[in-house]
Amino acid sequence: MTYAHRVVAMRALVVLAAALALEIIPRVGVGTRLEIIPFSEMLLGVVALLKTAEFWHHLFTSVLSIGFAFLSAAVFGVAFGYLLWRMPRLYKILSPYLVSYYAIPIFAFYPVLIVMFGANRIPIFLLATGWGIVAVVVSTVEGLALVRDSWEKVADVYHLNGWQRAFSVHLPAAWPQMAVGMRLAATYCILGVISSEFILSSDGLGYMVNHSYNSFEYRPMWGGILVVLAVGIALDLLVSAATRRLGALR
């Protein structure tokens, strides 16, 4: 068995162990149905959700917001990170703020965004993008710092202009570190979208889970939580596969 296969097997065992624990713990009387239900009933909640058109609307809305937020964070994060790398003095000025960025309670700005743009998807998109972009910026600068002088000399030999250097030398050299930032940004975008939908939204997976909780509908609530978990895992696997594929092409 190869190392990759062993990793997949261990992940499967962890998931099975967690599912078994969630099935047994509620049935032996630990906690009440107000706190947790058996895993089998959670799965029944997922099955019930899949049969409703409303669920697919919420799923499509959240996935679309997450996708747009992630793409915006990736594109603008790489561009801004490259700019900061080309301007080291500016990066030194902004570095303390970038490092401490995730200590800021960013959801405090959500009411301000609602006042500015209204109670629609724009504040959710901006909040998720703003939460994910800094991870890409920092990873891009760190990756570009690894560019060797010998590679710059090779670019001089071939008389590459600025754009050619960026896409043929700099960004490919920084890609392994940038890929880490991309995966972090995907996670932050999911958290930003789902959490924002909890606070104030009329659609989306976060709204659906919150509505089920307030209505004491525990099967749909836990089913929605499992769907959110599945969406997060799927997006992480997708971003990981895409970054590995792009890394192989560099």
Closest CA to 224 of 183, 199, 194, 186: 194
- Enumerate the domain spans of the chain: 1-36, 42-249
Q: Is the pLDDT of residue 72 over 90?
A: yes
Residue 209: CB partners within 8 Å, gap ≥ 6?
A: 198, 221, 224, 225, 228
DSSP state letter for 212: H
Q: Output the pLDDT for position 188.
A: 92
Please compute the mean of the pLDDT values over residues 44-60 and round it to a whole number.
92
Q: Is the pLDDT of residue 240 over 90?
A: no
155 or 75, greater pLDDT: 75
* Cα 41 to Cα 50: distance, rounded to the nearest angstrom: 14
Tokens matching residue 48: 């019930």
**3-state DSSP helix/strand/coil percent for the chain, to nearest 5?**
85, 0, 15
End-to-end CA distance of the chain: 29
Q: Is the pLDDT of residue 78 over 70?
A: yes
Instruction: List, for residues 115-143, the tens digit of each pLDDT value.
Output: 888 878 889 999 999 999 999 999 999 99
Q: Which of 7-11, 96-100, 225-229 has the highest mean pLDDT?
A: 225-229
Which pTM value belongs to this model? 0.87
Tokens matching residue 56: 């697919």
39 or 109, greater pLDDT: 39
CATH superfamily of 42-249: MetI-like (1.10.3720.10)
147 or 80, greater pLDDT: 80
The answer to whether 127 and 109 have CB atoms below 8 angstroms apart is yes
